[in-house]
Chains A and B, each alone.
Chain A
């Protein structure tokens, strides 16, 4: 019988034909935590009674969620993580280096690997054909100690993409559309596997955005096959030798198949307070917006800022605009291309690479009743630090068009 990408990666890892629905112990290639989940993982690790990391060079910590720290408790968390790194040899990504998921795809994730991270958006690396999934601190502590995790083999839903996206329609619109169609738990315990000739038209930034949000439909991860686009990206990142051709078998068995015509996708928005509460932007007219945020592991890459520049160049914003590059690399590349100058002249505020206001700790907490349109991945009540704030999720193009007018705006109209 043919195998899905999930079955291929997982079977190869344990040299055994995996069976959907069964629990196996899998070896992991990379294990990581961030500054929110890391301290608890460290505490559990220290209580396990195992004195060494299974693979120090493949154990990573990212100081991205509260970075630089806004208060002493969080500074102490950073200190604890640094000390742990020194003692056990784990790699620490310092403040300002960027968001864990962006750094994973820039520096580590490769096709065929298993990656576990103590952060739900670990699935971002699925865009590079790695079986990457989020777990909690205890799983991560055990994976750090033993290099293994327990996992149930999930069935896959195949999403067949046709044609290509229209001008100013972005990968974010596609994944919002998919989440709206599936529902917030429509893919729980399943993997979303992307296929079809439409893949050719999606660059790696697009694929990262899509894979990143698969968890918002409940999925364990979102997988793209490893094709020429993957190869080119890995070469650019200096690890071209990690490329392997990795596609599902033609006769693989999927739980469901869904066909999506990319040319029919329009700018989408997720209304408060759930990610599957999706509408077309043009159907939500007249929404006055206080703050726009372009950034995060979903929408803070160079192509996201370039489209914002295209919309905002030489103009002034009418709502507050916060700009958060996903990593130092994105920040430096944008600097060379002059994107920050355009966005700052338009009225934007640039924050350091990291999670920024997405997690509600600092750098853009909303006031009571305020409306934010964000390129992030979650609009749950309280997400941006205030349960009285209202978060709308949209593409970076829609965010930029909205900042320009001060009202939720379809980017094709500006």
Chain B
């Protein structure tokens, strides 16, 4: 299964405050309303520019800072297919898996804003169509893939009633 879309490029240390600022705290009860402000302080035009199925591509330590799960939620609800980064902050990483937002840890150095890319989750490969190169990535451990494939931890537990079951 391959996903195709455009790159929206960001730098290192994109915090959850940049992904969804604390000043929208009052909208947290309404995720689709909150999602209108996704990435607002990192790129005010992001919501206007992005199309459903596009990718966020970033540098090191994406999602650092607060534990707010609203950060991966608004990215997912806005229609971002997956986030690619050199590395992820750990709470953001587990939150994304737990809500079913795919993350890909790979070398994002040569990706540029607007590049057309294709992500093949099964093969562990990102193809940059615009610049004609490929980057390999390591698959998630089986347990985390199982959560992701279930659609998130909530769905996983709903089905199994427990972790081991």
A residues at B contact (CB < 8 Å): 23, 25, 36-37, 39-40, 44, 47-50, 65-66, 71, 73-74, 76-77, 117-120, 122, 134-139, 141-142, 145-146, 148, 150, 184-185, 188-189, 215, 218, 220, 274, 359-361, 365, 378, 380-383, 385-387
Produce 1/0 per residue, B99-122, CB < 8 A to A: 100000000000000000000000
Tally the A-B contacts, defined by beta carbons under 8 Å.
Answer: 143
Given A141-B154, A218-B89, A184-B61 contact (CB < 8 Å) = yes
Which of A50, A146, A184, A360 contacts B23 (CB under 8 A)? A360
| B70: chain A residues within 8 A (beta carbon) | 40
Interface residue? B68 (CB, 8 A)? yes
Residue of A nearest to B17 (CB): A380
| A49: chain B residues within 8 A (beta carbon) | 158, 161
B68 and A136 within 8 A (CB)? yes
What CA separation (Å) do A66 and B27 show in the bound complex? 13
B18, B95, B98, B99: which has the most chain A beta carbons within 10 Å? B98
Given A40-B28, A134-B67, A135-B67, A218-B90 contact (CB < 8 Å) = yes
What CA separation (Å) do A387 and B29 show in the bound complex? 23
Interface residue? B15 (CB, 8 A)? yes
Task: Please give 9 more A-B residue pairs, beta carbons under 8 A apart, in addition to A215-B91, A381-B41, A382-B22.
Answer: A36-B68, A48-B158, A120-B67, A139-B95, A188-B61, A188-B87, A218-B89, A361-B26, A382-B41
| A134: chain B residues within 8 A (beta carbon) | 67, 91
| B98: chain A residues within 8 A (beta carbon) | 136, 138-139
What CA separation (Å) do A117 and B161 show in the bound complex? 22
10 closest A-B pairs by beta carbon, nearest first, are A136-B69, A136-B95, A185-B61, A73-B26, A360-B22, A138-B98, A380-B17, A380-B15, A120-B67, A134-B67
Between A and B, 16 residue pairs with Cβ closer than 8 Å are A23-B141, A48-B158, A135-B95, A136-B99, A142-B153, A142-B154, A185-B87, A185-B89, A188-B87, A218-B90, A274-B13, A359-B22, A361-B22, A381-B15, A382-B23, A385-B22
What CA separation (Å) do A28 and B73 show in the bound complex? 25
What CA separation (Å) do A184 and B27 show in the bound complex? 29
| B154: chain A residues within 8 A (beta carbon) | 44, 47-48, 138, 141-142
Produce 1/0 per residue, B121-156, CB < 8 A to A: 000000000000000000001011000000011100
Interface residue? B32 (CB, 8 A)? no
What CA separation (Å) do A36 and B87 show in the bound complex? 26
